[in-house]
Amino acid sequence: MDRLAYDIVVVGGGAAGLRAAIAAAESDPKLTIGLVSKVYPMRSHTVSAEGGTAAVMREYDNFELHCLDTIKGSDYLADQDAVEFFVAHCPEEIIQLDHWGLPWSRDDDGKIEQRAFGGMSVKRTCFAADKIGFHILHTLFQTSMKYPQIVRHDEWFVTDLIVENGAAAGVVALDIRRGELSYINAKAVVLATGGAGRVYEFTTNGFIKTGDGMALAYRAGVPLKDMEMVQFHPTCLPGTGILITEAARGEGGTLINKDGERFMKTYLPGKMELGPRDILSRSEIQEIRAGRGFEGPHGAYVGLDLRHLGEKAIDERLPMVRELAEKYLGLDPIHEPIPVRPGQHYIMGGVSTNMHGETNVPGLYAVGETACVTINGANRLGSNSLSECLVFGTATGLSATTYAKKTDWPRGTAAKEALAKEEARIFGGLMKREVGKESVSAIRKEMQQIMDRDVGIFRDEKGLTDACAKLATLRQRFADVGVADKDRVFNTELTQALELDFMLDVAQAIAWSALNRRESRGAHSRTDYTNRDDANYLKHSLAFRADGAPRIDYLPVTITKWQPQARKY
């Protein structure tokens, strides 16, 4: 076992974690920073983002407008002070990435180009063809290699947070390659572990997006905020759930039903295909339910039509869309519409933090998709999330630095206890347990199906109650899960079991928060309460971990300039 200590431990090597680590490294070169990630950082799911990242960069645009779009998109559930802070800091992050070498797509005048995106009223999304996440991730990762004070622990899986005297004091992590647990002492811990899309079956998210950081914080007594707010993206490939970027519509792609009609004219004539995602996803489902979808081997779908854009535009601006369609569907979008249907995409909710990434546990920070600041409220606008990772990554890295500098090293007693506890839970429990009738894959699949069916795009009291009860049973059944692979080295069966354990917590938080919000707002659409109810629910849900069901509480929304109005496009 190693004894390790860093001033700051960052858990997660995606856009948010890397940005936080670099901000900390740049602000004080004497600080030591441990970067712990369960995969090599460039495998983080940030890599899959396609469309772009938002910032006010041109004369035709302004901060007020970006704020308004974001707040309206959020169905007024965003905290407006956070949105103002966010919008004001986006442009500098874009420029910083340019200075670090990101291959932005450019205008003929040499400046960073911008494209249209759903819910944004002007062209505001900076992009790098359709591989923005890939380029942000690799640029940040490669830049992070410059700083010797950032020490990486690649393929280390954090299993628990260490809390000493009520403050964060480090993490317990499994070195996957050696199959050993260690503790890492730290003055400040930043959670940047990304989303939790894999609690659903049909999702655009990668296999590693299992909500670990949310569950870690939740177990340490931090509430999860607005967990019922789950985004479904309107254009995913049936079968795999692979995403076709919104940029396809930003560049002029249209949605058609089996009669070749642009059906959005019935649902959202003002914005058509460039409406916000929640509305588009619901419209597609309604269209399919009305019998106007196409039928395919993986169920009904609608068509995303790019044919009129022409080969040149597609190759220059959407090469990955063509690559994915050719590869996975064997069709060329130049000649045929792409089959699409809505799938889980993003979790607006997450670890409850303020604008500085602080949680209610001193020294514990969260940032990125795993956190909920909140700027996304009930519905995130496409391309705001990478910007969020960057802006709040920097802010959080800096506040963790300030905190670490004025804090003493933890004594380390809590670390030893936490390690012993984890040893017992993992190597004494999970690994020792005989393999019985319960398997990780079966429970995971059941959980995902429950979430897809009852906590999906449309929800109601009966389905949600049912889901809550079933998830509770799964939680009990999980206690009987054993790991067949007894070889400690690189034990992915073990890490999948640990991930499922985290996901079950997250799924319960989502289902209970959804059950308790008896209104429809943004992505949370209840067929039994179809209207937004500002009198009772203009507030954030907070889920606290408790025995059995989570305890749900509420927190007021911060309103600065923009009074809630009906959300009309």
Partner 1 sequence: MAGEKSITFRVRRYQPQGTKGPYYQDYNVPYRDDEVVLDGLNYIKDQLDPTLTFRWSCRMGICGSCGMDVNGSPKLTCGTFIRDAGRGGVVQVDPLTSFNSIKDLVTDFDPFMDHFAHVKPWLIREKEKPVAQGEYLQYPEDLTAYRQQSLCINCTLCYAACPVFQGDDRFVGPASLAMALRYIRDTRDQGAEQRFERISTEHGIWECTFVGECSVVCPKEVDPAGAIQTLKLMATTRRMRKLLMPKSAPR
Partner 2 sequence: MVEVREAVWKRHGGWWTHNRRYVSFMLREAGGSLSALYGIILLGLLVTYSQGASAYANYIAFLETPAMLVLQAVILFFVLAHALTWFYLIGKSQVVMSAYRAPPWTRVFGLMIVVFLAASVGVLYIVFGGL
If we measure between CA atoms, which residue out of 342, 368, 348 comes closest to residue 75? 348
Whether 249 is catalytic = yes
d(CA 210, CA 497): 11
- Residue among 76, 86, 127, 134 that touches partner 1 (CB under 8 A): 134
CB of 179 to partner 2, least distance (A): 6
- Residue among 74, 80, 182, 193 that touches ligand FAD (CB under 6 A): 193
295 interacts with partner 1 by CB under 8 A: no
Size of the site for partner 2 (CB under 8 A): 12
**Residues of this chain, 470-489, that bind partner 2 according to CB under 8 A:** 488-489
Which residue number, 211 or 463, has a Cβ lying nearer to ligand FAD? 211
Size of the site for partner 1 (CB under 8 A): 62
d(CA 530, CA 26): 49
Which residue number, 180 or 460, has a Cβ lying nearer to partner 2? 180
6 interacts with ligand FAD by CB under 6 A: no
d(CA 148, CA 151): 7
Tokens (6 digits) for 208 = 């590693």
CB of 395 to ligand FAD, least distance (A): 14
Which residue number, 121 or 439, has a Cβ lying nearer to partner 1? 439
Q: Burial level of 188, CB count in 10 A (0-12/13-18/19+)?
A: buried
74 interacts with ligand FAD by CB under 6 A: no
d(CA 169, CA 414): 8
53 interacts with partner 1 by CB under 8 A: no
106 interacts with partner 2 by CB under 8 A: no
d(CA 388, CA 394): 10
DSSP 360: S
192 interacts with ligand FAD by CB under 6 A: yes
DSSP 337: P
d(CA 293, CA 259): 9
166 interacts with partner 2 by CB under 8 A: no
Which residue number, 316 or 485, has a Cβ lying nearer to partner 2? 316
Which residue number, 193 or 374, has a Cβ lying nearer to ligand FAD? 193
d(CA 345, CA 308): 27
Instruction: Look at residue 469 and give its three-state secondary structure.
Output: helix
H/E element, 449:
helix 440-454
Which residue number, 129 or 279, has a Cβ lying nearer to partner 2? 129
**Cis peptide bond upstream of 374, omega within 30:** yes
**Residues of this chain, 98-157, that bind ligand FAD according to CB under 6 A:** 132-133, 157
Q: Which of these ranges, 172-180, 367-375, 406-414, 419-427, lies near partner 2 under the rule CB under 8 A?
A: 172-180
243 interacts with ligand FAD by CB under 6 A: yes
Q: Burial level of 234, CB count in 10 A (0-12/13-18/19+)?
A: buried
364 interacts with partner 1 by CB under 8 A: no
Q: Which residues contact 479 (CB under 8 A, 6 or more apart)?
A: none
434 interacts with partner 1 by CB under 8 A: no
Sheet holding 114-115, edge to edge: 53-54, 125-126, 114-115
d(CA 300, CA 41): 36
Residue 493 interacts, among partner 2, ligand FAD, partner 1, none and using kind-specific CB cut-offs from 5 to 8 Å, with partner 1
Measured CA to CA in angstroms, residue 295 lies from 86, 299, 304, 429 at distances of 42, 6, 14, 47
Q: Answer yes or no: are the C-beta atoms of 303 and 294 closer than 8 Å.
A: yes
If we measure between CA atoms, which residue out of 385, 377, 382 comes closest to residue 521? 377
CB of 339 to partner 2, least distance (A): 23
**Residues of this chain, 327-346, that bind partner 1 according to CB under 8 A:** 327-329
**Beta-ladder partners of 338:** 304
Find the catalytic residue in 249, 322, 341, 459. Answer: 249
Based on C-alpha coordinates, what's the Rg of the chain? Answer: 23
Q: Burial level of 145, CB count in 10 A (0-12/13-18/19+)?
A: exposed
107 interacts with partner 2 by CB under 8 A: no
- Residue among 29, 30, 59, 109 that touches partner 1 (CB under 8 A): 109
Q: Which residues contact 291 (CB under 8 A, 6 or more apart)?
A: none
Residue with tokens 């997450």: 350
Find the catalytic residue in 124, 233, 282, 444. Answer: 233
238 interacts with ligand FAD by CB under 6 A: no
Tokens (6 digits) for 370 = 């795993």
CB of 330 to partner 2, least distance (A): 18
335 interacts with partner 2 by CB under 8 A: no
Which residue number, 44 or 254, has a Cβ lying nearer to partner 1? 44
**Residues of this chain, 487-506, that bind partner 2 according to CB under 8 A:** 488-489
Nearest 5°: the CA angle 123, 127, 131 is: 140
Sites of contact with partner 2 (CB under 8 A): 1, 129, 177-180, 312, 315-316, 319, 488-489
Sites of contact with ligand FAD (CB under 6 A): 11-17, 36-39, 41, 44-46, 48-53, 132-133, 157-158, 192-195, 204-205, 208-209, 212-213, 243, 245, 346, 368-370, 382-386, 389
Residues designated catalytic = 233, 249
Sites of contact with partner 1 (CB under 8 A): 39-40, 42-45, 47-48, 92, 94-96, 98-101, 103-106, 108-112, 131, 134-135, 138, 142-143, 145-146, 154, 177, 206-208, 239-240, 242-243, 297, 323-324, 327-329, 439-441, 445, 483-485, 487-493
